């Protein structure tokens, strides 16, 4: 099934998400729902807090960018209990967007290399290094687990210019082709 996407201003997007056990009820279903919701809303990644679940899971499929970034062709992954343990390399700017912040794109600086520990969908532990575009997408989704949004990371001038746009979004003044949950609305519990 697909979930509605939680929109900017909702408190659940600001919580630090928690690790889960490998007997978390309905884990495989949740993973497939995350992918389904992500594909349906044309995202490259989706984190559980964005569907109203404050747990440390996100999914990524970079295939839509494979034409420009061949390395992303088979970059389809599930990250459970993700923890970034190292970030290094030059800070590089790149334009980002987010399903929780419709119709906004801004340049964000991020480190070029990361090391991350996580479990995959088969509960196999990984400790891996990623760079380039992969590191960028992972860091964006990972930030959702720590209650951080990409608009927090734009420069102070841009941030000031964004303020009224973000307020409008949090009040539902935006167009999106997917179902959404606005601040103040209840997320589905299961």
Provide the annotated active-site residues: 141
Q: Which is nearer to Zn ion, 26 or 152 (CB)?
A: 152
DSSP state of 17: P
Residue 118 or 150: which CB sits closer to Zn ion?
150
Beta bridge partners, 84, equal: 116
In angstroms, what is the minimal distance from the CB of 144 to Zn ion? 6
Nearer to Zn ion (CB atom), residue 98 or residue 138: 98
* Minimum CB distance to Zn ion, residue 100 (Å): 5
Of 80-88, 94-102, 128-136, 151-159, the window that binds Zn ion (rule: CB under 5 A) is 94-102
Residue 124 Cβ, how far from Zn ion at the closest point, in Å? 26
Residues β-bridged to residue 59: 46, 78
Stretch that binds Zn ion, among 25-33, 73-81, 90-98, 163-171 (CB under 5 A): 90-98
In the bound state with Zn ion, the residue whose beta carbon lies nearer, of 84 and 98, is: 98
Secondary structure (3-state) at 20: coil
**Alpha carbon of residue 92 to chain centroid:** 19
DSSP lists the bridge partners of residue 60 as 45, 77
Which residue, judged by CB position, is nearest to Zn ion in the bound state?
98
Give 117: exposed, middle or buried? Use CB within 10 Å, 0-12, 13-18, 19+.
Answer: middle
Strand partners, 55: 18
Closest separation in Å from C-beta 46 to Zn ion: 8
The Cα 16–Cα 30 span in angstroms is: 19
Under the binding rule (CB under 5 A), the answer on residue 98 touching Zn ion is yes
Say whether 55 sits in a helix, a strand or coil. strand
Residues at the site binding Zn ion, with contacts judged by CB under 5 A: 98
């Amino acid at each position: 099934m697909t979930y509605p996407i939680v929109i900017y201003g909702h408190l659940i997007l600001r919580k630090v998400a928690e690790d889960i056990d490998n007997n978390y009820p309905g884990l495989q279903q949740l993973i497939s729902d995350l992918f389904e919701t992500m594909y349906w809303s044309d995202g490259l990644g989706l984190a559980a807090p964005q569907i109203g679940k404050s747990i440390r899971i996100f999914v990524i499929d970079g295939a839509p960018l494979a034409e420009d970034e061949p390395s992303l062709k088979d970059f389809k992954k599930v990250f459970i209990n993700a923890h970034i343990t190292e970030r290094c390399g030059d800070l590089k700017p790149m334009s980002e967007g987010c399903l929780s912040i419709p119709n906004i794109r801004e340049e964000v600086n991020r480190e070029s290399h990361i090391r991350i520990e996580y479990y995959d969908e088969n509960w196999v532990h990984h400790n891996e290094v990623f760079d380039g575009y992969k590191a960028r997408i992972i860091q964006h989704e990972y930030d959702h687990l720590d209650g951080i949004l990409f608009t927090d990371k734009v420069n102070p001038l841009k941030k000031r210019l964004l303020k009224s746009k973000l307020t409008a979004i949090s009040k539902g003044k935006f167009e999106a082709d997917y179902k959404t949950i606005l601040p103040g609305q209840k997320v589905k519990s299961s």
